[in-house]
């Protein structure tokens, strides 16, 4: 009698590598139960699915759809993205420190036969180094790729949750970029709120990064998510000579007020960004149609996007708050979602793309708009099941929108798109330097 077995290709690899999982040794036509468990920052996450073995007694997750379980349809990594925390409301996807790999245990059973296997997902490739940055008034973490030589650089900023986006920086470094995750609020020594953040702080970050890593081809890109997506477009337009490329995840086309991350003393309609000590005009300012009611009223979870759409009806306020993206002097990538519950990133991204088309932007412009996905376009092959959350600053219970399957697709496809975009952007700058 054959023994049940699990095979996994590339069992120890970076998190962005899809694994091929195959079970063999079952009886033809027999049900095979498979579970996947991953400890994430001290909390166990779990998914399970039932399959029917083929005529050879095998189940191939790249080929076969489960007949029941945590996900539906054919998806080789479905047992990862469909995981949910066991007896917990945790949304923490990574270990602390993030350089600790995520280890997933698989168990398969068919009749009385059982098999076990494991695979690990790393954010930091072997040889990647980590350095805390607490100098020049900056708070962040620098990750450098393995090996000697110069590397193109990326500066990463978070959204309205604040903090230091170390997972993103570690993965960028693992793919060959000197990656500086820069905090600007809700981190040691910084304000707990986004309100009244000076843009000059980020200019100092760009200058520090160039001076410190001496990037290959003098290439320094910006990467940001949500409020960070708004921010990187704004920085690219404001400090155009210092920004080689912009990657905006679920960005805004406009300057926004402090919103859910604001200082209560300033208020959610108070300013977010300062330049030369003066607040930048935001879309809620003197807006004749903007209303928080669609967000505030009714039962939880709330959709912040509904309030954001009311502000778009005042054409004058929209014009005053528009980010002048035509001033950006490098390639631009936009990643958005059609069911974004936080704000209408698909609408915003189209506005940015259309403006760049209108002015015949001389650099590469890419826009990936993910159907039915929500605000949380994050990393490939992580759980996407926690759609409802309490905002880390305001505590307001909201939904980011989308659904686990389409969010998982957006996670994987967005990252591959970003890597290809940056590869072209670096090559373009290197070519320009030679002419």
Alpha-carbon distance of 319 to 104, in angstroms, equals: 49
Confidence of residue 281 (pLDDT cuts 50, 70, 90): very high
**Mean pLDDT over each residue of the chain, to the nearest integer:** 96
Length of the chain, in residues: 435
pLDDT at 396 > cutoff 90: no
Confidence of residue 188 (pLDDT cuts 50, 70, 90): very high
pLDDT at 194 > cutoff 90: yes
Q: How is residue 291 written in tokens?
A: 């209303």
Span 1-29, mean pLDDT? 94
Closest CA to 155 of 51, 70, 246, 260: 246
pLDDT tens-place string over residues 293-346: 999 998 889 999 999 999 999 999 999 999 999 999 999 999 999 999 999 999
- What is residue 2's predicted lDDT score, i.e. its pLDDT? 64
pLDDT at 33 > cutoff 80: yes
Supply the residues annotated as catalytic: 226, 340, 375
pLDDT at 152 > cutoff 70: yes
- What is residue 435's predicted lDDT score, i.e. its pLDDT? 67
Span 244-270, mean pLDDT? 96
Pairing of strands 388-390, 365-370: unpaired
Alpha-carbon distance of 199 to 355, in angstroms, equals: 23
- The full set of domains in the chain, from first to last, is 5-122 (2.60.40.2240), 129-434 (3.40.50.1820)
pLDDT at 1 > cutoff 70: no
pLDDT tens-place string over residues 204-255: 999 999 999 999 999 999 999 999 999 999 999 999 999 999 999 999 999 9
pLDDT tens-place string over residues 76-133: 999 999 999 999 988 999 999 999 999 999 999 998 899 999 999 999 999 999 999 9
- What is residue 395's predicted lDDT score, i.e. its pLDDT? 86
- What is residue 89's predicted lDDT score, i.e. its pLDDT? 87
Say how many CA atoms lie within 13 Å of 164 toward its Cβ: 25
pLDDT at 172 > cutoff 90: yes
Per cent of the chain over pLDDT 90 is 93
pLDDT at 37 > cutoff 50: yes
Q: How far apart are the first and last CA of the chain?
A: 68
Contacts of residue 3, Cβ cutoff 8 Å, sequence gap at least 6:
25, 113, 115
Rg of the chain taking only CA atoms, in angstroms? 23
C-alpha distances in angstroms, 195 versus 32, 191, 229, 234, 272? 53, 9, 16, 16, 4
């Amino acid at each position: 009698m054959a023994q049940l077995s699990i095979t996994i290709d590339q069992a120890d690899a970076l998190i962005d590598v899809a694994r091929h999982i195959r079970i063999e040794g079952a009886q033809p036509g027999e049900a095979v139960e498979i579970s996947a468990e991953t400890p994430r920052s001290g909390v166990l996450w779990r998914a399970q699915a039932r399959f029917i073995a083929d005529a050879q007694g095998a189940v191939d997750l790249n080929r076969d759809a489960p007949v029941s379980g945590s996900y539906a349809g054919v998806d080789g990594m479905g047992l990862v993205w469909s995981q949910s925390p066991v007896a917990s409301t945790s949304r923490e996807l990574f270990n602390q420190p993030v350089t600790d790999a995520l280890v997933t245990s698989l168990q398969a059973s068919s009749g009385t036969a059982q098999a076990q296997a494991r695979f690990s997902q790393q954010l930091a490739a072997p040889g990647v180094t980590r350095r805390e940055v607490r100098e020049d008034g900056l708070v962040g973490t620098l990750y450098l790729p393995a090996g000697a030589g110069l590397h193109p650089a990326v500066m990463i900023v978070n959204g309205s949750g604040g903090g230091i986006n170390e997972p993103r920086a570690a993965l960028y470094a693992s793919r060959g970029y000197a990656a500086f995750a820069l905090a600007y609020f809700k981190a040691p020594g910084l304000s707990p709120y986004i309100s009244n953040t000076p843009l000059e702080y980020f200019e100092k970050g760009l200058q520090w990064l160039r001076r410190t890593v001496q990037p290959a081809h003098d290439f320094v890109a910006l990467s940001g998510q949500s409020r960070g997506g708004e921010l990187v477009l704004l920085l690219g337009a404001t400090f155009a000579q210092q920004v080689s490329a912009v990657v905006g995840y679920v960005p805004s086309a406009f300057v926004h007020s402090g919103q859910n991350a604001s200082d209560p003393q300033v208020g959610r309609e108070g300013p977010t960004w300062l330049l030369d000590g003066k607040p930048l005009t935001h879309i809620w300012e003197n807006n004749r149609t903007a209303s928080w009611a669609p967000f505030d009223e009714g039962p939880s979870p709330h959709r912040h996007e509904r309030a954001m759409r009311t502000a778009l009806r005042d054409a004058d306020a929209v014009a005053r708050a528009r980010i002048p993206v035509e001033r950006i002097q490098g390639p631009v990538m936009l990643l958005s979602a059609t069911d974004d519950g936080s704000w209408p990133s698909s609408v915003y991204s189209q506005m940015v793309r259309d403006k760049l088309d209108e002015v015949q932007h001389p650099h590469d412009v890419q826009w990936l708009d993910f159907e039915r996905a929500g605000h949380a376009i994050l990393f490939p092959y992580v759980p996407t099941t926690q759609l409802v959350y309490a905002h880390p600053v305001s505590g307001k219970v909201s939904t980011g929108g989308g659904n686990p399957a389409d969010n998982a697709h957006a996670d994987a496809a967005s990252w591959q798109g970003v890597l290809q975009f940056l590869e072209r952007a670096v090559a373009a700058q290197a070519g320009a330097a030679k002419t």
